[in-house]
Amino acid sequence: MEQISTDVLIIGAGAAGLVCALELEGLDVCVVAKAPLGEGSSSAWAQGGIAAAMGEDDHPEHHLKDTLDVGVELSCKDAARVITHEGPELIEALIQWGMNFDRCDVGKLRLGREAAHSFRRILHANGDSTGKELMRALGQALMRTPQINVLENCHAYELIVENARVKGAFAKDALGNDLQITAGAVVMATGGVGGLFGYTTNPQTACGEGLAMAARAGARLADMEFVQFHPTAIDVGIKPMPLATEALRGEGAELLDSRGVRFMPAIHDDAELAPRDVVARAIWRRTKAGEKVYLDATKAVGAAFPDRFPTVWGYCRNSGLDPREEAIPVTPAAHYHMGGIDVDLDGRSSLFGLWAVGEAACTGVHGANRLASNSLLEAIVFGRRVAKDILMKNYKDPIYTDPQPTSSGTRDLSQPLADLLYKACGVERSESGLYEALAQIVDWQDQKGSFTPSFANKLIVAKMIIVSALERRESRGGHFRNDYPQTDPKQARRHKITLRETDAFIRGLNLGTDIQGAEKSCQKPA
């Protein structure tokens, strides 16, 4: 097994991981990327933009209020204050790294508006190509930094833990060779869980493996039940699903039912710009009933589509649609995970030597529902904060023994798992559906040693999402229970859990392994 030693190991190469790497001046950094740099992360696919209070009439306090309002009483106010108040400074840093934001004719930053924002504060690049431009700028800055070593097409699958300290990770390189990467500090930046779901706007690499690695090592996770489903994934049979950015609705695009009737004004005062969970449920209920739902931007954008929204334009044209003249068929799809590895305001996890950043982390900023375009903002702000914390601690390589990775098999059931999760843990959930899915996962996990490391990790994350969803007997933000449709003020608290606690919960159930009999064989916990 080849051994690599570095000061800091960053697992994941999205915006959060790259910002962190660039800020670790003076340290040797190894970045593990599942795909070629810039291609395998959700950051590169982001269309909506980056939210920051850059307007003359705006203020970070206004941005903070909007963030907390959408979080449905679960957002960590201190963490939300961090991103909203430090955000403008990080926008300037991105410009220094070479990012080209869209500007007005007079040279000022062009600011857009999206759902639940009270001001125009969304910065875009090349219209709806913000993530792509962000990753281009960060990638080029990375290439100019010699102390950063990027291992592309490399898959980390298990953390190295010794004496209750994280000291590196096991990985496989592009040729399938085993690697043991040891480091004084490890940063988990592996992204979210969207790739676990049958309908998703995320790359398949965003499947929660970093969360599973941390959980198996003993880390505490938080808010796992809160998965945000983007209302307007383009429904043309492509997987992962192309995204019709929320900025279209910000410019006046309307949602129509199969009869061509606009329905959102009757559901929420903000109509198409209502919080994402509200819009997603409104669309989901129509699609579940067999209706088609369409996003009509023919009047709001019309002939300007190719220039204003080139990414969506390309997706539509490749599918035979002309959004200048036709409405776009849409449906909800898994888009963002508010949960993740529980961290403090410096990105430190509950395990010594392990930090987490970006969508893999749960800072508490988003609470039960993320405010549009706050994800890239959180990634860059906390990317810098994690780097500063590591630099202050001056971590260097400790001395290691010779640990060995857990053995595993070759089977992979990712597609059946994706279908199972979307059905049971999608836009709307119920106790019976969650128990049924849990029964199947337990059945699969009983087949020990037969699955690939990647699929074994997916099962862990899926199990923790389902158990967290079962324990929250209410509806709040991205988590909606048909059997508990109301928000319960008594449950206005964050849910933190370890893998050990998850397994103890399952052992406390009278849980059968036959999916068809799951409802009958499951004993509801007290």
pLDDT of residue 246: 85
Evaluate whether residue 470 is within a structural domain: yes
Among 361, 393, 335, smallest CA distance to 82 is for 361
Q: Quick count: other Cβ atoms within 10 Å of Cβ 506?
A: 19
Residue 212 and residue 106 share a domain: yes
Please give the backbone phi and psi of residue 495, each rounded to the nearest 5 degrees, phi first. Answer: -110, 115
Whether residue 422 is found in the same domain as residue 506: yes
Residue 518's pLDDT is what?
Answer: 42
**518: phi then psi, degrees, rounded to nearest 5:** -60, -45
Q: Do residues 148 and 239 both lie within one domain?
A: no
Q: Give the SS3 label for residue 367.
A: coil
Q: Return the pLDDT at 247.
A: 85
**In terms of domains, do 351 and 249 share one?**
no
Q: Are residues 49 and 137 in the same domain?
A: yes
Predicted confidence at residue 447, as pLDDT, reads 81
- 407 belongs to a structural domain: no
Is residue 280 domain-resident?
Answer: yes
Known catalytic membership, residue 276:
yes
pLDDT score of 306:
94
Pairwise CA distance, residues 204 & 178, whole Å: 22
Q: Domain with 509 in it: what CATH number?
A: 1.20.58.100
Rounded to an integer, what is the distance from CA 28 to the centroid of its chain? 27
Same domain, 158 and 138: yes
Q: How many CB atoms lie under 10 A from the CB of residue 411?
A: 13
Catalytic residue, candidates 276, 384, 476, 481: 276
Alpha-carbon distance of 475 to 484, in angstroms, equals 6
- Torsion angle of C-alpha atoms 116, 88, 226, 38, degrees rounded to 10: 120
Q: Which residues of the chain have pLDDT under 70?
A: 394-404, 407-408, 511-526
Please check whether residue 300 lies inside any domain of the structure. Answer: yes
Kindly state the tokens that stand for 162: 């010794």
Q: 408 lies in a domain?
A: no
**Residue 317: CATH number of its domain:** 3.90.700.10
127 and 259 together in one domain:
no
- Which tokens in the block code for residue 42? 């959700």
pTM for the structure as a whole: 0.91
Q: Are 375 and 514 members of one domain? A: no
Is residue 214 domain-shared with residue 196, that is, in the same domain? yes
Model pLDDT, residue 407:
61
Tens digits of residue pLDDT in 478-488:
999 999 999 99
Instruction: Provide the token pair at 306.
Output: 């190719």
The reply to whether 402 falls in a domain is no
pLDDT value for 398: 52
Quick: pLDDT tens for 433-447: 999 999 999 999 988
Among residues 286, 312, 333, the one where a domain terminates is 333
Of 265, 300, 333, the residue that ends a domain is 333
Total number of domains in the chain? 3
Same domain, 218 and 241: no
- 34: domain CATH number is 3.50.50.60
The whole-number pLDDT of residue 397 equals: 53
Same-domain pairing of 376 and 449:
no
Domain that holds residue 435: 414-521
Which residues are within 8 A (CB) of 320 and not within 5 positions of it... i.e. 6 or more apart? none
Q: 406 lies in a domain?
A: no
295 and 212 housed in the same domain: no
Residue 401 counted as domain residue: no
What's the pLDDT at 114?
A: 84
Cis peptide before 240 (omega within 30 of 0): yes
